[in-house]
Amino acid sequence: MSCSCEGAIKLPPNVTIPGIFAFGDSIVDQGNNNAIKTLVKCNFPPYGKDFGGGIPTGRFGNGKTPPDLIAAELGIKELIPAYLDPNLKAQDLPTGVSFASGGCGYDPQTSQLVSVTSLSSQLDQFKEYIKKLKGAIGEESANKILSNSIHMVVAGSDDLANTYFTIGIRREQYDISSYADLMVSSASTFIQELYQLGARRIPVFGIPPIGCLPSQRTLAGGSIRVCAEQYNQAAQIVNSKLSAAIDSLTQSLPRSRVVYIDIYNPLLELIQHPQNYGFEVSDRGCCGTGNFEVVILCNKYSGTCPDDSKYIFWDSYHPTEKAYKVLIDQILQKYINKFL
């Protein structure tokens, strides 16, 4: 679907961003998990309630997700499709697709635990995609698209929230600092592999304040469901190591624009002061009780809140389209010039 919109962000005349590509987890999974055998999927109501025609697409929310919103703001197209979408057409390829898989993480064990597509398998799909792109438009045009497009990397929340804290296998082997090293080492390798395949503009999103996600408040926030401080501290430890690693990658990869994107502080600000941004509810999701419902637990029997535009979270883990929009607007304003 091409974009009838004029992008809200005006790029300098000599700059083009032809496509948006996404790698990582459910924040940027546009429906890839529909095509694999896993419980981590949401291609059923009430997911997609505010998506055109109320159709569940496999996006983990009520409507559009960050890749869609960024593509529209840059005037590229309205929606970024999933690479594994059976209806994907050749004309969708040049403007970008998502390879992300909900439940995936930097730690290879994270995707294994829930049978989803690992980052290394997402890279294999990207290689397959590049072959198709070169076949469709020729090597030179394909290389231009790869080097000028945005390649979003969004992962790490599931490593901490699921693999480390909830399931806890890794806690027997690592303290949080050494687990953060494992995550960051894997992230660095992944970024270098993307670079070797031709990607140059690579925003890498930090970990959000996972202790304030409704599900983590329920699991670890005590009877009054406060933010789980230990989880937030873990996110901050990973973020400081990740941003340092990205700084050194930018130095060592010629002509690269690898940029650490702070999502921790903008989302925490939104959660702590919802009324400043037109929201009312920040400690639970809109689906069901909002305390624990996510993926198969958020379904047509759950019921939803009367007005999801008042909620920061759609389910107990994923923000609403409106919250994404607030965050993406802030991120584009702050970081877009670093990619030019």
Do 322 and 309 meet the contact criterion of CB atoms below 8 Å apart? Answer: yes
41 contact partners, CB below 8 Å, separation of at least 6: 33, 34, 58, 102, 295, 296
- Which residue is it, tokens 């997402």? 122
> How far apart, in Å, do the first and last CA atoms of the chain sit?
25
| Marked catalytic residue, from 98, 159, 315, 316 | 315
**What is the torsion angle, in degrees rounded to the nearest 10, for the CA atoms of residue 333, residue 10, residue 194 and residue 330?**
20
318 is catalytic: yes
Instruction: Supply the pLDDT for residue 2.
Output: 46
Question: Using one digit for the tens of pLDDT, what is the confidence trace for 163-184?
Answer: 999 998 899 999 999 999 999 9
Q: Is the pLDDT of residue 4 over 60?
A: no
Question: Using one digit for the tens of pLDDT, what is the confidence trace for 186-244?
Answer: 999 999 999 999 999 999 999 999 999 999 999 999 999 999 999 999 999 999 999 99
Amino acid identity for residue 324 in this structure: Y
| Marked catalytic residue, from 98, 111, 149, 318 | 318
Distance CA 334, CA 109 (A): 34
| Marked catalytic residue, from 25, 26, 85, 98 | 26
Sign of CA dihedral 221, 29, 70, 287: negative
What are the residue ranges of helices labelled H in the chain? 66-73, 108-113, 119-137, 139-148, 157-158, 176-196, 214-220, 229-252, 264-272, 321-335
The per-residue DSSP string of 21-55 comes to EEEESTTS-SSGGGGSS-S----STTTTTTSGGG-
Question: Using one digit for the tens of pLDDT, what is the confidence trace for 94-145?
Answer: 999 999 999 999 999 999 999 999 999 999 999 999 999 999 999 999 999 9
Q: Using alpha carbons, list the distances in angstroms from residue 76 to 64, 193, 257.
A: 15, 25, 20
> Quick count: other Cβ atoms within 10 Å of Cβ 80?
30
Q: Phi first, then psi: what are they for 7, rounded to 5°?
A: -60, 140
Question: Using one digit for the tens of pLDDT, what is the confidence trace for 264-318?
Answer: 999 999 999 999 999 999 999 999 998 888 888 999 999 999 999 999 999 999 9
